[in-house]
Amino acid sequence: MELQAIGVQHPAVRQVQHIQNNTAPNRYKLFVAEGLWAHNMLLEAGAPIDTFFWCPEAIYADEAHRRAEEIAARADRSFRISLRTLEKISERDKPDGLLSLAALPRWDAGDLRFGKTSLVLVADGLEIPGNLGTLIRSLDACGADCLVLTNRKTRLTHPKVIRASQGTILTVPTIEFEQTADAVAWLQRHRFTVLLADTDEAVNYRQANYSGRTALVVGSERYGIGKEWYGHGYQRVAVPMLGSGDSLNVSVSASVLLYEARARKSSW
Amino acid sequence: MELQAIGVQHPAVRQVQHIQNNTAPNRYKLFVAEGLWAHNMLLEAGAPIDTFFWCPEAIYADEAHRRAEEIAARADRSFRISLRTLEKISERDKPDGLLSLAALPRWDAGDLRFGKTSLVLVADGLEIPGNLGTLIRSLDACGADCLVLTNRKTRLTHPKVIRASQGTILTVPTIEFEQTADAVAWLQRHRFTVLLADTDEAVNYRQANYSGRTALVVGSERYGIGKEWYGHGYQRVAVPMLGSGDSLNVSVSASVLLYEARARKSSW
């Protein structure tokens, strides 16, 4: 395969660094995909590939050699880079010669359609990228309709979000509201019953009612759910804490709640 | 408070670096505790403090100043260090002047006593420290009796295990078997019903039987449960996967199973 060779000074290489370090605007929600596994995921999901960087010297799997041509055919532009350049932009110990800038899908709140027993999760103010990615992986697993972000503190294009989501970020619809009030209104318009994950004045999550459409709200690792979510008469549900700690990891508690809701909706 | 001042060349400082980087034997299961929160946790749990390093110049909370004397009184030995030395051994962006080498409690399989409906988790071959710590936090939360480690790949003293456990590693009993066969025999001796978290030939986890004593087994992030756990007639239980991904994060799936077992045992 013949591709234009570029070096570390090329604007495309700099762009990768900007995306990784979040040092430039990223209006097309580009993220960095590295390695065979991530590229198989891009191809399978049909994700738009903006730029493909190919370093044949670093490829160690036969499948990666074959895949390189497919990726180049799909990418808007493709370049060949040296091992030295690859090492500059890779975040892996052993980069495998395939690296792309790809775009996250964009979802619009107005385009989503819900069924009678839809299930959505609202993540309010989540701070740790790994938690957000793990949460998206759980949303995919339990067949939730979408993730709603309010008071967003971490970007979806963060490498740790992508990695922890195990690629499910390409398929789970994610929508964001800049104002919590707009999320509240949107959920009401779609007739969701909103449940706040909160230990104060809460009912045991096994006793909650998950009929109809359910929106579960979880809050930030440090501060919990923002105050804009209170005062609407929403029920609070708690996963009982029986030990010395006072909380669960947020992606764990969200997943326990999500699966409880899914099981009850499905009568498992 | 008057404490002996030491510099970066002092053996105690080197020991901290060895513990952090796992570059020396660690038979007393020492780990590094940093900051006010971690020290409050040590004091509350009554954990043995081997060495306390105090850097008053770096302390910014009044409570930390007060706590320093308590910690020095409890520690086997205490030193004063400079900001420069603190920066050499701290893994934080903004270290707060309290750093200790403390010891994890040691639990012996022979000392544990179980009730009629005890619940334990076996983690077989887990590789990612953050997952192990998060798992321990969930074990604490759901009131499980202990964590059993087989085919151990990550050390309990890893800073990320400590951090993700949020201190519950000091209270949740953890025992390790070098041979899986010994764990199998031990669980049998204690009349545990063993359930393997596995998607193949599995029953839906909501339909499993959690009466009596229950041991849930989860496997490594990449390879699942080791083959030594099969062939004993253990039932397999699965959390249904309804999306595009083929698995959940292991600390998430373990927590969903643990809380299901706890809820059923408690008739929530």
CATH number of the domain encompassing residue A95 = 3.30.1330.30
Same domain (yes/no): B43, B128: no
Quote the percentage of chain A above a pLDDT of 70.
100
Query: Is the domain of B218 the same as that of B125?
Result: yes
* Separation in Å, CA of B267 to nearest CA in chain A: 10
CATH number for the domain spanning B124: value is: 3.40.1280.10
Residue A124 backbone dihedrals phi, psi, to 5 degrees: -105, 110
Please judge whether B207 and A249 are an interchain contact, meaning their C-beta atoms are less than 8 angstroms apart: no
**Average pLDDT of the segment spanning A69-90:** 96
Which of A103, A130, A160 is a domain's end point? A103
Count of structural domains within chain B: 2
Element containing residue A231 per DSSP (H, E): none
A11 — pLDDT class (breaks 50, 70, 90): very high
Say yes or no: B25 contacts chain A, CB-CB below 8 A.
Answer: no
> Looking at chain A, which residue has its C-alpha nearest residue B138?
A248
Using an 8 Å CB-CB cutoff, list chain A residues near B137.
245, 248-249, 252
* Residue A95: per-residue pLDDT: 87
Residue B17 has a pLDDT of 93
ipTM of the complex: 0.93
In the prediction, which pLDDT does B93 show?
Answer: 84
Are B47 and B126 members of one domain?
Answer: no
Taking contacts as CB-CB distances below 8 angstroms, the residues of chain B near A259 are 239, 256
pLDDT at A242 (0 to 100): 97
Domain boundary among B61, B77, B103: B103
Domain boundary pick from B50, B69, B103: B103
Which residues fall within 8 angstroms of residue B91, CB to CB, at 6 or more apart?
B20, B32, B34, B159
Report DSSP state, residue B247: -
Q: What pLDDT was estimated at residue A234?
A: 97
Q: Is residue A159 within 8 Å of residue A16, measured between CB atoms?
A: no
Tokens matching residue A202: 């809460």
Chain B nearest CA to A226, separation (Å)? 22
The answer on B225 and B99 residing in a single domain is no
Buried b (16+ CB within 10 A) or exposed e, A193-202: bbbbbbeeeb
Domain that holds residue A58: 4-103
Which residues between 226 and 265 in chain B have a beta carbon less than 8 angstroms from any beta carbon of chain A?
239-245, 247-249, 251-252, 255-256, 259, 262-263
- Regarding whether B184 and B69 lie in a shared domain, the answer is no
Does the beta carbon of A8 lie under 8 angstroms from any beta carbon of chain B?
no
Query: Domain check: are B67 and B163 in the same one?
Result: no
Residue-level pLDDT at B15: 95
Is B208 touching A (CB cutoff 8 A)? no
B123 and B237 share one domain? yes
Q: Is the pLDDT of residue A94 over 90?
A: no
Q: At B124, phi and psi to the nearest 5?
A: -105, 110
- pLDDT (tens place) for every residue of chain B, 268 residues total: 899 999 999 999 999 999 988 898 898 899 999 999 899 989 988 999 999 999 999 998 899 999 999 999 999 999 999 999 999 999 888 889 999 999 999 999 999 999 999 999 999 999 999 999 999 999 999 999 999 999 999 999 998 999 999 999 999 999 999 999 999 999 999 999 999 999 888 999 999 999 999 999 999 999 999 999 999 999 999 999 999 999 999 999 999 999 999 999 999 9
| Averaged pLDDT, A53-59 | 96
What's the CA gap between A158 and A129, in Å, rounded?
7
What is the phi/psi pair of residue B101, to 5°? -95, 115
Could B255 and A268 be called an inter-chain contact, meaning their C-beta atoms sit closer than 8 Å? Answer: no
Residues A125 and A254 in one domain: yes
The verdict on B119 and B75 lying in the same domain is no
pLDDT in tens, A111-147: 999 999 999 999 999 999 999 999 999 999 999 999 9
d(CA A39, CA A98): 8
User: Would you call B141 helix, strand, or coil by DSSP?
Assistant: helix
Cα–Cα distance for residue pair B147/B131, rounded to 1 Å:
13
* B125 touching chain A per CB within 8 A: no
Helical spans, DSSP H, in chain A:
11-21, 35-45, 62-74, 83-89, 129-141, 159-165, 180-189, 250-266
- Total CB pairs under 8 A between chain A and B: 107
- Whether A206 has its CB under 8 Å from any CB of chain B: the answer is yes
Query: Which of A137, A248, A259 lies at the smallest CB-CB distance from B137?
Result: A248
B248 and B122 together in one domain: yes
Shortest CA gap A137–chain B (Å): 7
Which region, left, alpha or beta, applies to residue B14 given φ > 0 means left and ψ of -120 to 50 means alpha?
Answer: alpha
3-state secondary structure of A247: coil
Residues B31 and B51 in one domain: yes
Same domain assignment for residues B33 and B133:
no
